A and B are shown apart, each in its own frame.
Chain A
């Protein structure tokens, strides 16, 4: 068990990661200790949880996240995630988790074919995962969204299962910015330790640089879960 401020959360830098420093900042602002992890190292330096940051790993010239999934660090992360270690993939990180089969479905090019950057309203629909336990069900939040390939798709059976099991973490409100099926912005795995989301909560943690402070709750959620010994 770790104290709130002592929890160590790793942020993996892949070649082409862009929001790695931002994820680290968000962890610090929330009171945690950010640990820089390198894609080429299998060793996770004993971190308590991992954030896979946004960006364009390996340029995303292939399917987004398809190459990053094979990075040495990912092999350890995949193993440990299956054992319950908390992992949160943001944007490109979400794409990597999907490519790693830690989360179901796929992320495809936005239906309007353009990259889009906007302050996006979301509704939180899962408050049991270690990444969202600080929210109230139905909380409406605003965090930045910025992606070119954020359209979430899955087969009907999977979508029904996600809804039935309460695994849709966040849905787009007002505007569906990329054609995601059932307005899905983020989801969690069965166990609730692995979460992925296209919008960027790490860019909504400071009043000066974000549209809100709503993103902070994802990071305080995991820190309080780690501090109180909550296991997914």
Chain B
């Protein structure tokens, strides 16, 4: 069958086109015809369909996301804002940092290993295309129940994919999340965050400027992977002997990506590149139209020059292919030879496929025939925008009314019950050690990892001379977001902000990955609208601008949407990573303080979820002004050496935080329940805006004075003590064959008049056993 060129499209205006199968709505198809003044060619239809898809155009979310710009706080830190591949933040000393999260949820369900691997690959290329060297990755992940059979299919594949790709790229994986909830069973969330660093002068943008500059495609050959829906077009042009259906999930080659990183940084640093763009979703369609739309405005492309893995690919498929590990650079003609030489050095294929023009049109030829002739802006930026209807779900009131009161959910009453509860919670899937996962990630490579999981944030050194570094944390309690999407998003923001501050870094900027169900469901759309409003308001209140992010819709199984999951990433800066605050306490006699107020807050808590399978109530809104004060205290205390350790209090409350600190250090402590407080509430309430800090005795008065001056609650609840096990010490001195250290104990006093103790070893055993018990079975 002949190629559907422009002349053909003009000559056959009534030729029926399968636009609906490509997800293009009737009115959208008409709009394309109006823009072009004729029917689109099949190649143009392919481009519009993918660029106007939800994934590429943000057509349902755009009207809401505008708030991130409208409510942007005043800051000098932002060098490049929303709209580029990733935002760029100034961290001082001429250094800049770029970071962003993206989702790869649906591919990871279909093919966990490749879906997750290419999720990492995609976000890394986004960071690269800003001119930065990628320096770390993090992965916020959500799965169905740990013991569900499909989780055992999906989770190991996802972890192996994240590790297999990231490890092979030489990027330390410094943190993230692993959360289990039934709503993710048929729709896991695989979000990937990447951080990159660069000098200010190295910042590059995706634009094709300078008439006569060459368009160079470099990296992997283009194959038929990830072409998904466009196969309906391909079936028009393929005869019966054509290749069989190809996988819709892309396949990654991390080795090629590693070469691409080194090659890209070399051509950028050599000053050879005018503009640069990675090829991700929508492949060449996206890269050419976005580069042209952002630049001088015109581009001529010879599509038949694109190096192929599969010579039978149709032009529509080449335009749509999501083959991984490809980049597109705009290179002045005088630099082309040098550019090509660097690519040859790295064994990277590079091809001159086009030229920047002044026509204002994106023109694509295929063996001498013009198959695309469009205004690039109409493809890349002027896609449809929807005002999706939304309304508060009818069930929201009942959900919020179902509060987890002591009457509704029985609480442990005795010291013995609380003793048992701690062992159970320590082993609960959402609170248990994630080392089964993180031990499969290289956290050391590049030699700049100062903190990695299970610390509160991941921290990397940026400048070896000065010790300048950045910390990043991602968080989201999606149960709280379900109960109240507006406050849930603020809750997630507050937690990530706190996790950065608690490690001694000053929070600077925010990225997000907004994972929701179908935007066509007005109740889901309401959750989305509320979450965006909450996050935008919250960022304004905390003074941390949103620099970019990602929206993932249609995360649902049948009619059942996932918990609304607005994952928030916060990036902070620390002048000298040597000053970081770790989570492990160590010094005997150091005082353990809880910062912040503990109330009876169990709505959306891990305890209600784990013990009662309950989700209901109205979470107390997080007070971000107070959160900001907490952040100031954490930073000042870190700067002035008042803390030997600190840890966020969130899922699993104070008790879980104390257990984690004891496990991290393998040192015990004596804790007491404050007078007038219910032991259970003290242990497991999830009131926001709290942290545990460990203060040397000689810093105590300065510390309490600082908190007092700011009107912030600081309550002493314990002391680090490695010598609690006096019986064991006595025994070991009598018996010289037993030269072991005294057993480390975590002791809790004033529990209904009693004392409870756990050995750190038994807590560790409980903490470590949960994931291996299921995943190694």
Contacts and interface: CB of A to CB of B under 8 A. Distances in A.
Contact of A16 (B255, B464, B577): B255
Contacts of A59: 168, 253-256
Contact of B444 (A61, A117, A148): A117
Nearest to A18: B170
Interface in A12-61: 15-16, 18-19, 21-22, 25, 54-56, 58-61
B450 interface: yes
A25 B445 contact: no
A20 B205 CA distance: 29
A15 B446 contact: no
Contacts of A54: 445
A148 B167 CA distance: 10
Given A22-B445, A200-B444, A61 B439 contact: no
A116 B439 contact: yes
Nearest to B164: A115
Contacts, number: 83
Interface stretch (A157-165, A186-194, A202-210, A220-228): A202-210
Interface string A96-126: 0000000000000000001111100000000
A208 B170 contact: no
Interface in B442-481: 442-450, 461, 464
Interface in A164-212: 200, 202-203, 206, 208-210
Contacts of A208: 450, 461, 577-578
Nearest to A59: B255
A61 B254 CA distance: 10
Given A15-B346, A200-B444, A208-B450, A115 B167 contact: yes
B163 interface: yes
A209 B448 contact: yes
Interface string B160-177: 100110011110000000
A22 B255 contact: no
A39 B577 CA distance: 34
Contact of A117 (B160, B258, B440, B461): B440
Nearest to B159: A114
Among A54, A114, A116, A210, max chain B CB count under 10 A is at: A114
Nearest to B440: A115
A58 B160 contact: no
A209 B461 contact: yes
A101 B170 CA distance: 27
Contacts of A117: 438-444
Contacts of B450: 208-209
Contacts of A200: 444
Given A16-B258, A59-B168, A114 B440 contact: yes
B347 interface: yes
B111 to A, nearest CB: 19
A59 B347 CA distance: 13
A18 B170 CA distance: 5
Nearest to B170: A18
Interface residues of A, number: 29
Interface residues of B, number: 32
A146 interface: yes
B282 to A, nearest CB: 26
B399 interface: no
Contacts of B163: 115
A22 B445 CA distance: 8
Contacts of B444: 117, 144, 146, 200, 203, 209-210
Contact of B445 (A16, A146, A206): A146
Contacts of B77: none
B259 interface: yes
Contacts of B160: 114-115
A21 B444 CA distance: 12
Nearest to A13: B262
A56 B439 CA distance: 18
Contact of B447 (A55, A61, A148, A203): A203
A94 B532 CA distance: 51
A25 B258 CA distance: 20
B170 A55 contact: yes
Nearest to A17: B170
A210 B443 CA distance: 10
B445 A15 contact: no
B255 A58 contact: yes
Nearest to A113: B160
Contacts of B577: 208
A116 to B, nearest CB: 6
A118 B168 CA distance: 17
Nearest to B171: A18
Given A16-B255, A114-B160, A208-B578, A146 B442 contact: yes
Nearest to A61: B255
Interface in B334-362: 346-347
Given A55-B170, A116-B439, A117-B441, A15 B447 contact: no
Interface string B534-554: 000000000000000000000
Contacts of A114: 160, 439-440
A209 to B, nearest CB: 6
A228 to B, nearest CB: 28
A174 to B, nearest CB: 14
Interface in A133-150: 144, 146, 148
B614 to A, nearest CB: 35
A38 to B, nearest CB: 9
A114 B435 CA distance: 13
Interface string B582-595: 00000000000000
Contacts of B167: 56, 115, 146, 148
15 contacts: A15-B258, A18-B169, A18-B445, A56-B255, A58-B255, A59-B254, A61-B255, A114-B439, A115-B163, A115-B440, A115-B442, A117-B439, A117-B444, A118-B439, A210-B444
Top-6 shortest CB links A-B: A59-B255, A18-B170, A22-B447, A203-B444, A56-B168, A144-B444
Given A146-B444, A210-B444, 5 more contacts: A21-B446, A115-B163, A117-B438, A146-B445, A202-B447
